[in-house]
Structure 1
Amino acid sequence: MTVIKKLVTLLRGSARELGQSVVDDNATRIYEQEIVDAKASISEAKTELTAVMAKEMQTARDIERIKGEIRRHEDMALQALDKTEEGLALKVAERVAGLEAELQAQTQAHAGFAVQVQRLKNLIRSAEARVREHEREIGIAKTTESVYRATQSISDSIGSTGSRLTSARESLDRIKKRHEDLADRMAAAEALDKEFGHKALEQELAAAGIGENDKARAESVMARLRARQAAAAAAKDGGTPAA
């Protein structure tokens, strides 16, 4: 029997470990579902809160209505007394007493609803704050888990293939080498063109002051503009319109 008990205990322990393993492997998903359930509960609580708030508003309207009825009946009782209708005034006074009792009951109910409304609002605010905190935590946990998975993937990749990342790095180095070689070739071609090509001749002519360049053309334009300006000034001073 002792052996059987030990076997049963072992099986129970194995089942518990298996169940815990399943929970651990799906912890993030379970956590997210619990947050969804909490939000649903908060939504239901808000629905209940609106019902209690409606009751609070209804009792507030009933209180104002009863107060109006009391004032109206008191006025009628005073009118009955003015006409020496004591019996009629007493009946109206009894009606006022009943209305006052009803007013007291509605006032107590309204106060109770107000307390419930405030308590539910506080609970909902607290629950929403906790849900937001849990959402932040699950966001951090998911990000951390993604980083761990990426790190593990890289480690597995390096461990399983050995040379995969090295091969990729070598390919990248070869590409960079081709780019550098192409840049050097282009620079060399430009240098040869400056030394032996058409550009070399233009540079020699410009150095000797032969031919026009952008600076010379700009100076020519400025000289022409100054001449027009001087002619316009001379024409103005001489009283004749400028040509």
Structure 2
Amino acid sequence: MAVFSKILTMLRGDVHSIGQSIVDSNANRIYEQEIIEAKAHVATARQDLTAVMAKEMQATREIERLQREMQRYEGLALEALQKNQSALAEEVAGKVADIETALAAQTTVRDDLAGHIARLKDLIRGAEAVLRDHERELAMAKTTESVYRATATISNSMGSGGSKLMSAKESLERIKQRHQDTADRMQAADALDGEFGDKALERKLAAAGIGATSNRTAEVMARLRQRAADVGGDKPA
């Protein structure tokens, strides 16, 4: 029996741990659901408040009716006394007394309703203020959780050498290296062409004064001098 009891205790502990883990992982969702339920209770309280306020309005109207009725019967009683109708005046006075009793009872009801309304309004205002605070806290909690999630994602991405970010960086470095290799090859090709190709030969011919363009300036000058001399020889003496 002792062993069986220990097993049950262990199982209860595991169930509690699992339940607590579920609560922790869904804390924001649970918190949001609690706020939704609290808002539903406040909405119900507002509906109850409107019902009480409607009853207060009805009681106020009844009080006003009784007051008008009492004034009417009081006037009738006075009129009966003026006409020496004492018995009739006394009967009307009894009616006025009944109205006064009903008026006092209705006034008490109206005052009680007014007190309930004031308390309900205070409670609803306080509950709504608390709900607004909780909604702000929930928004902050969701934002904070998003930041933590993004931070964890970035940390995980940058933490391992085979991560996506590191792979992207390595790919970029390989591209840069390939471009540099191409540029170096082109520069080397130009250098070789300058050393062994046609350009090198042209430079050597120009340096030796050989080629169609080597003495072009001298040839142009000679031609111009000849033309100038020819023009001078044609002038009359």
TM-score for the superposition, normalised by structure 2: 0.70
Matched residue, 2:33: 33
Matched residue, 1:129: 129
Matched residue, 1:152: 152
Tell me, yes or no, if structure 1 residue 84 matches structure 2 residue 47.
no
Alignment of 1:1-243 (within 5 A): 1-160=1-160, 162=162, 164-169=164-169, 171=172
Per the TM alignment, residue 162 of structure 1 is displaced from its structure 2 partner at its CA by: 3.5
Unaligned ranges ≥5, structure 1:
179-243
Distance in structure 2 (CA, Å) of the matches to 1:134 and 1:45: 19
Aligned residues: 176
> Does the residue aligned with 2:54 lie in a helix, a strand or coil?
helix
Per the TM alignment, residue 155 of structure 1 is displaced from its structure 2 partner at its CA by: 1.7
Per the TM alignment, residue 158 of structure 1 is displaced from its structure 2 partner at its CA by: 2.3
Partners of 2:158 and 2:166 within 8 A in 1: no
CA offsets, 1:33-62, max 9 Å, x none?
111111111111100000000111111111
Per the TM alignment, residue 156 of structure 1 is displaced from its structure 2 partner at its CA by: 1.8
Give RMSD over aligned pairs: 2.0
Unaligned ranges ≥5, structure 2:
180-237
Per the TM alignment, residue 12 of structure 1 is displaced from its structure 2 partner at its CA by: 0.4
Amino acid at match of 2:149: R
> Identity rate of aligned residues, in percent?
54
> Does the residue aligned with 2:84 lie in a helix, a strand or coil?
coil
Per the TM alignment, residue 92 of structure 1 is displaced from its structure 2 partner at its CA by: 0.3
Partners of 2:77 and 2:93 within 8 A in 1: yes
Amino acid at match of 1:11: L
Per the TM alignment, residue 165 of structure 1 is displaced from its structure 2 partner at its CA by: 2.1
Amino acid at match of 2:85: E
Distance in structure 2 (CA, Å) of the matches to 1:103 and 1:160: 85
> Does the residue aligned with 1:162 lie in a helix, a strand or coil?
coil
> Does the residue aligned with 1:56 lie in a helix, a strand or coil?
helix
Distance in structure 1 (CA, Å) of the matches to 2:45 and 2:151: 43
Distance in structure 1 (CA, Å) of the matches to 2:164 and 2:83: 112
Distance in structure 1 (CA, Å) of the matches to 2:163 and 2:149: 21
Partners of 2:59 and 2:109 within 8 A in 1: yes
Partners of 2:59 and 2:110 within 8 A in 1: yes
Higher Rg of the two aligned structures: 2
